[in-house]
Amino acid sequence: MNKAYKYRLYPNKEQEVLFAKHFGHARHVYNWALATKKAHFEEHGKSLSRFELQKQMVVSKKTTKVWLAEVNSQTLLAALANLDVAFRNFFRKNAGYPRFKSKKDSCQSFQCPQNVFVDRAKGIITLPKIKGIKAKIHRSFEGNIKTCTISKTAAGHYYIAILVEDGKSLPETADIDPSRTIGIDVGLTNFLVLSDGRKEGNLRFLGKSLRNLRKRNRQLARCKKGSSNRTKKKLNVAKVHDQITKQRRFFHQNIANKIVNDIQVDTIAFENLNIKGMMKNKKLARHIADVSWASFVNIVQYKAAWAGKNIIFCSRFAPSSKACSCGEINSKLKLSERQWQCNACLVSHDRDILAANNIKAFALQNLDSQLATMR
């Protein structure tokens, strides 16, 4: 089983320069390979393989681009492998056409597939050509290091994500039992509502930081483009966004742990929301981005896989909040109505709790297709 462990790095000035070279050289190789691949296809009607690009890169490294030798060769090969994966995802329709990377991207990264050493006692990580990097190794791991990814955020923080193979296999998933299944309805008033009636409030991390963010953005707008002061103010804005991201991630991790570690639950049901379409609503887009439902569901999915629990989904077109338990559907229900009464059976419903229970019911109804998808 593969697990990733992420640590904060604290490089010195010399190491920061080496990191910058690795970021830049890996980006150059990726962009060069993408341009070469695209031009070759337009001229000859067929694509170049990764190994053909690798041969060309090795030749150029010895002749016209000798400066590529300043960085670890495995990092350059990893950039070619990443481009190969990007094209594979494109042809499988899992992603768009690969785009060129920019040095102005908010996050810069490179990979080291080999020769990574971690000394937890001393708090030091050693990479090829970059020795003795101070790191905050707050938790240990066991297993073989497969690869590691070094990244720099817009806030100027360095991180390393180490992928480890621990030799263990994922536990077998439990049988799906309706009595041990819980439905989850995500929302904006409450971050989520469970089918057993529990609710988790929406902490609105972005909303609480908007005043500070607007102030820093105004300071940035007053600075002259290209000035050193503008660079400082831009970093201040990035630090606010970084803090919001960390708060949201910590919140998601805690809630996901509560749900997955519940011993009375073996199956978790979600609604398959069209978040991209929902973001087109100008009045709700910022609030939807703030809660980051997709990120939360991804966290629950991998934690559930580690715990041997099932994740199932109901259709986004199912009337989860409009269908009464008696079968009556309130098609005229407005989004602003949080409580409603069924005209047929006269039962009053909490819209969110009803939606969570219906998500559970609809997901269990489509169990055969869900099992086929999981297989």
Task: Just list the catalytic residues.
Answer: 185, 271, 352
- Is 79 in contact with 29 (CB distance < 8 Å)? yes
Cα(264)–Cα(266) distance, integer angstroms? 7
Cα(68)–Cα(76) distance, integer angstroms? 8
Q: Backbone phi, then psi, for 14, in 5-degree steps?
A: -65, -40
Nearest to 138 by CA among 306, 269, 8: 8
| Paired sense of beta strands 267-271 and 310-314, if any | parallel
Task: Compute CA 27 distance to the chain's CA centroid, rounded to the nearest angstrom.
Answer: 21
Which whole-number Å values give the CA distances from 132 to 11, 124, 317, 357, in the listed order? Answer: 9, 6, 54, 54
What does DSSP assign to residue 203? -
- Is 319 in contact with 328 (CB distance < 8 Å)? no
- Is 359 in contact with 185 (CB distance < 8 Å)? yes
- Is 177 in contact with 268 (CB distance < 8 Å)? no
Which residue pairs, CB below 8 angstroms and at least 24 apart, start in 292-295?
292/248, 292/252, 293/186, 295/248, 295/249, 295/252
Cα(332)–Cα(122) distance, integer angstroms? 64
Which whole-number Å values give the CA distances from 366 to 172, 325, 361, in the listed order? Answer: 21, 18, 9
With residue 89 as reference, give the H or E element that holds it. helix 73-91
Cα(8)–Cα(136) distance, integer angstroms? 6
Which whole-number Å values give the CA distances from 233 to 143, 220, 306, in the listed order? Answer: 42, 5, 42
What does DSSP assign to residue 49? P
What does DSSP assign to residue 224? P
Cα(43)–Cα(190) distance, integer angstroms? 55
